[in-house]
Amino acid sequence: MSPADTLRFATRAALGYPLRTALMVLAMSIGVAAVVMLTALGDGARRYVVEEFSALGANLLIVLPGRTETGGVNPGSFVSSTPRDLTNDDAAALLRLPLVQRVAPLTVGNSEISVGGRLREVMVLGTTADYLGIRGFGVAGGQFLPREDFGRATAVAVIGETIRAELFGNENAIGRMIRLGDRRLRVIGIMGPAGRGLGMNSDELVLVPVATAQAMFNTSALFRIMVETRGREALGPAQRQVENLLRARRDGELDFTVITQDAVLGTFDRILGALTLGVAGIAAISLAVAGILVMNVMLVAVTQRTGEIGLLKALGASTGAIRLAFLAEAGLLSLAGAVAGFALGHAGAWGIRLAFPALPAWPPDWAVAAAVGTALTTGLLFGVMPARRAAALDPVQALMKR
Amino acid sequence: MAQIELDGINRIFQLGDSQVHALCDVSLRIEAGEYVAVMGPSGSGKSTLLNLLGLLDRPNSGHYRLEGRDVTTLSADEQAAVRSARIGFVFQSFHLVPRLTAAENIALPLMLAGLPAHERNDRVAQALKDFGLGARANHRPDELSGGQRQRVAIARATIMRPAMLLADEPTGNLDRATGQEVTALLEALNAAGMTLIVVTHDPTMGERARRRVLMEDGAIRQDLRRGPEPA
């Protein structure tokens, strides 16, 4: 029997029992669709986080106070246990490094903002003029914080769009005075919309000069220093320069951490990648169940078509030809299930994207290939036993059945 | 050398604790082109003999030479090849594949033998015409009458131009008139040179055969010949 004939024969056989075939294909397609959809969800989450970090801007180094180290007691442990704060002077010193292009010191705190009778809690971010460029934000109206000495506490503020709408409504906000904590500040600008990243939404921020924020929160410490390097390839050398400079400024002690965006991103990428794999593994169980179903259906088919198998043997079919015909049928059922599941899974992923537009829920290529491949493999694997049973039937016994 | 030579064939079935001797020391010679009716009561071993002749079953002892070749020692797939090329089967219950059309049923042996599609179509079209089924080519078995079904089955059995045709009660499921039609059809094929071996209960059909083999309890009781021997 030629391969084309075997396929045609198997197709006719599968179509000869429409309900059985439909149920089988449905089971297989649910398995494949589950893998496609769940990996789409997992990978979507991974991509969401990656994008979130990319919103930070490229070529970024982040300096944070303190250092987490694994290791026993070292001499440093006895000398000092509290890390020294990062200060505005540190930030200003970093600006002089050749590989550093821009620096933005950050201080963060919560305070109350009030205008007229309206009052609300806001997150206050103390920073400098370069923050806007480093983060890639825009200003919708007015101007951003003035370019001035890091130590100068000018009484101005730039507010987010949501804050503006809530406090001023339709009135013009620029030039108005607000009360932030115990200080009176003049609004000089409104943040542009959709600045997002790392859980901070620029729509709900009040930005003030770093020294103003420090005075407000009565501290000289910085929460972070953001450092932008000259180009992506300068990231590594710049990280060493920053470390060396800051270490020199604090008597040779490395009580701060410099992280690159890549490192953070890589970690999240790995965690969420593993999560996606795990979810895909769980979904793959349904594929195994579908495989067992293929076996069951094919065993029933062999019993149902015993007479036909006997006839084929009488007509001169070799055991190989019969085995192949039944295996081809199992393969076709799995293939149809895989294709239907592929379509179903993509439709599901589309539904997820529709419901959660922020989540880029596209199934990764590897998952789709793996799901369809696994469906075919399980179908064929579980089809072997029924096919062997069909081929091994005694023709005399088989012919006696109708 | 006869076409079929059976020597000391024994076939024993194991049914639980008891042994059933379906064939006891059967020896038989059938020449090419003969018309043989195998008759006898139920359980006399007729069908077992036919299955053995058709290579669907193996004897426990004895030798079966088909066209001079000992076929009892062949492997299952070698026997399948012999069945495909030399032997045609006609069954009482027709054994048509219900989901295939008449033409596709007739084409089955050609397909199993691996003939290309265009060659198959020519031969199937010819067979449909020869057996008066031209208008029924695309009908499924459940849309055909009993006589038509058996004609399709006979067309299928002869499409490979086998040397012998084995028929197990070919008229058993048909009414008298249609049965006679089918008998005439089988005899015409025999007249054209094909060896015809029929297992039957029907005495009138047995009467028509030139040679009658009467079986009882797994052994041949009588072997009657009538008319001139075929050359």
**Interval B58-113: pLDDT, tens:** 999 999 999 999 998 899 899 999 999 999 999 998 999 999 999 999 999 999 99
CB contact under 8 A, B77 and A315: no
pLDDT band at A80 (very low <50, low <70, confident <90, very high): low
Give the distance from residue B149's alpha carbon to the nearest chain A alpha carbon, in angstroms: 15
Average pLDDT over residues A58-87: 69
Q: Is the pLDDT of residue B169 over 60?
A: yes
* A315 contacts on B by Cβ (under 8 Å): 83-84, 89, 108-109, 112, 156
Residue B193 lies in a domain: yes
Q: Which of B100, B111, B156 sits opposite A5 (nearest CB)?
A: B111
Chain A interface, mutation test: which of B92, B97, B152, most A Cβ atoms within 10 Å?
A: B97
Q: Which of A13, A316, A402 sits opposite B112 (nearest CB)?
A: A316
Cβ atoms within 10 Å of B173's Cβ, excluding its own: 15
**Closest residue, chain B, to A2 (C-alpha):** B114
The secondary structure element, H or E, covering residue A179 is strand A177-180
Q: Which of A13, A311, A318 sits opposite B80 (nearest CB)?
A: A318
Give the distance from residue B90's alpha carbon to the nearest chain A alpha carbon, in angstroms: 10
* B120 contacts on A by Cβ (under 8 Å): none
CB contact under 8 A, A315 and B89: yes
Indicate which CATH number applies to the domain containing B112.
3.40.50.300
Q: Is the pLDDT of residue A233 over 50?
A: yes
**CA A194 from centre of chain:** 19
Of residues A59 and A312, the one with the higher pLDDT is: A312
pLDDT band at A72 (very low <50, low <70, confident <90, very high): low
Distance CA A35, CA A287 (A): 9
Range of the domain at B59: 4-225
Q: Is the pLDDT of residue A266 over 90?
A: no
CA of A15: how far to CAs of A157, A333, A379, B179, in Å?
73, 10, 17, 34
Q: What pLDDT does residue B213 have?
A: 93
Distance CA B48, CA B65 (A): 17
Q: Which of B51, B100, B112 sits opposite A1 (nearest CB)?
A: B112
Give the distance from residue A17's alpha carbon to the nearest chain B alpha carbon, in angstroms: 9
* A328 contacts on B by Cβ (under 8 Å): none
Work out how many CB contacts closer than 8 A connect A with B.
Answer: 69
What is the token pair recorded at A221? 């410490």
On whether the CB atoms of residues A290 and A337 are closer than 8 A, the answer is yes
Name residue, tokens 């027709």: B94
Tens-digit pLDDT profile for residues A114-155? 988 888 999 999 999 988 888 878 888 889 999 988 888 899
* A1 contacts on B by Cβ (under 8 Å): 111-112, 114
pLDDT band at A379 (very low <50, low <70, confident <90, very high): confident
Angle of helix A18-54 versus helix A365-392 axis, rounded to 10: 160
Average pLDDT over residues A219-246: 87
CB contact under 8 A, A314 and B83: yes
Sign of dihedral through CA atoms A227, A228, A233, A238? Answer: negative
Q: Is the pLDDT of residue A195 over 70?
A: no
Distance CA A210, CA A157 (A): 11
Distance CA A34, CA A284 (A): 8
Residue B231 lies in a domain: no
Average pLDDT for chain A: 85
Q: Is the pLDDT of residue A82 over 70?
A: no
Q: What pLDDT does residue A275 have?
A: 87
CB contact under 8 A, B114 and A318: no
pLDDT band at A268 (very low <50, low <70, confident <90, very high): confident
* B98 contacts on A by Cβ (under 8 Å): 16
Residue B91 lies in a domain: yes
Average pLDDT over residues B6-24: 91
Task: Give the DSSP per-residue string, A180-239.
Answer: ETTEEEEEEEEEPTT-EETTEEGGGEEEEEHHHHHHHHT----SEEEEEESSSTTHHHHH
Q: Is the pLDDT of residue B54 over 90?
A: yes
Least confident of A192-201, B132-141, B212-221: A192-201
Direct distance between the N- and C-terminal alpha carbons of chain A, in angstroms, rounded to an integer: 24
Q: Is the pLDDT of residue A201 over 80?
A: no
CB contact under 8 A, B109 and A16: no
* A306 contacts on B by Cβ (under 8 Å): none
Q: Is the pLDDT of residue B231 over 50?
A: no
Dihedral angle at the C-alpha atoms of A313, A319, A325, A327, nearest 10 degrees?
140
CA of A150: how far to CAs of A66, A101, A352, B161, in Å?
22, 16, 46, 103
pTM, whole model, 2 decimals? Answer: 0.70
Distance CA A198, CA B41 (A): 92
How many domains does chain B contain in total? 1
Residue B33 lies in a domain: yes
Q: Is the ipTM of this complex over 0.85?
A: yes
The secondary structure element, H or E, covering residue A127 is strand A118-127
pLDDT band at A75 (very low <50, low <70, confident <90, very high): low
CB contact under 8 A, B95 and A311: yes
Q: Is the pLDDT of residue B38 over 60?
A: yes
CA of B10: how far to CAs of A363, B7, B60, B220, in Å?
66, 9, 6, 12
CB contact under 8 A, A315 and B109: yes
Instruction: Give the CB-side neighbour count of residue B131, counting CA atoms within 13 A.
Output: 28
Average pLDDT over residues A339-367: 89
Q: Is the pLDDT of residue A196 over 60?
A: no
Q: What pLDDT does residue B75 have?
A: 92
